[in-house]
Amino acid sequence: MLAIQTNNLTKSFVSLTAVKGLNLEVRAGEIFGLVGPDASGKTTTLRMLCGILPPDGGEAIVAGCNVRREAEILKGKVGYLPQRFGLYRDLTVLENIHFYADLYQVSKKSRMERIERLLQFASLKPFGKRKAQDLSGGMKQKLGLICALIHTPQILFLDEPTTGVDPLSRRDFWVILYDLLKEGVTILFSTSYLDEAERCNRIGMIYQGELFIADTPAAIKAQIEGTILELRTENNQKSMRMLEGIESFQGFVLSGDKIHVHVSDPQEGERTIRDVLKASQMPIFNLAVVRPSLEDAFVSIVRKKEK
Whichever domain contains 97, its CATH number is 3.40.50.300
Q: Is 209 left (phi over 0), alpha (psi -120 to 50) or beta?
A: left
The confidence score (pLDDT) of residue 168 equals 81
- Mean pLDDT for each 10-residue chunk of the chain (307 residues)? 95 92 96 93 95 95 95 92 85 94 88 89 90 90 90 92 80 86 92 88 94 94 92 94 89 89 94 94 94 91 79
Whichever domain contains 260, its CATH number is 3.30.70.980
Question: Are 112 and 237 found together in one domain?
Answer: no
d(CA 36, CA 132): 30
The confidence score (pLDDT) of residue 307 equals 66
Count: domains in the chain: 2
Question: Are 233 and 112 found together in one domain?
Answer: no
Question: Are 126 and 186 found together in one domain?
Answer: yes
Assigned domain for 53 exists: yes
Residue spans of alpha helices (H) in the chain:
42-49, 71-75, 93-103, 108-121, 137-149, 167-182, 194-197, 217-221, 236-243, 266-279, 294-306
Question: Are 59 and 191 found together in one domain?
Answer: yes
Assigned domain for 297 exists: no
Assigned domain for 305 exists: no
State phi, psi for 90 to the nearest 5 degrees: -90, 0
Element containing residue 60 per DSSP (H, E): strand 57-62
Assigned domain for 296 exists: no
- Look at residues 205, 220, 235 and tell me which one is the last residue of a structural domain: 220
d(CA 87, CA 246): 51
Question: Are 31 and 46 found together in one domain?
Answer: yes
Question: Are 207 and 231 found together in one domain?
Answer: no
Does the pTM of the predicted model rise above 0.85?
yes
Question: Are 151 and 286 found together in one domain?
Answer: no
Packing angle of the helix pair 108-121, 137-149 (nearest 10 deg): 150
Number of residues that this document lists for the chain? 307
- Judged on CB neighbours under 10 Å (0-12, 13-18, 19+), 12 is middle
- Look at residues 179, 205, 220 and tell me which one is the last residue of a structural domain: 220
Question: Are 130 and 181 found together in one domain?
Answer: yes
Q: Distance from CA of residue 280 to its chain's centroid?
A: 40
The confidence score (pLDDT) of residue 196 equals 86
Contact 217, 197 (CB under 8 A): yes
Question: Are 66 and 193 found together in one domain?
Answer: yes
For residues 209-241, one letter each, b for 16 or more C-beta atoms within 10 angstroms of the residue's C-beta and e for the rest, the string is bbbbbbeebeebbeebebbbbbbbbeebeebbe
Q: Is 131 left (phi over 0), alpha (psi -120 to 50) or beta?
A: beta
Question: Are 100 and 230 found together in one domain?
Answer: no
Assigned domain for 301 exists: no
Question: Are 56 and 189 found together in one domain?
Answer: yes
Assigned domain for 303 exists: no
Give the dihedral sign, CA 167/172/173/174. Answer: positive
Domain with 281 in it:
225-291
The confidence score (pLDDT) of residue 302 equals 85
Nearest to 81 by CA among 36, 27, 124, 141: 141
- Look at residues 173, 188, 220 and tell me which one is the last residue of a structural domain: 220
Question: Are 9 and 149 found together in one domain?
Answer: yes
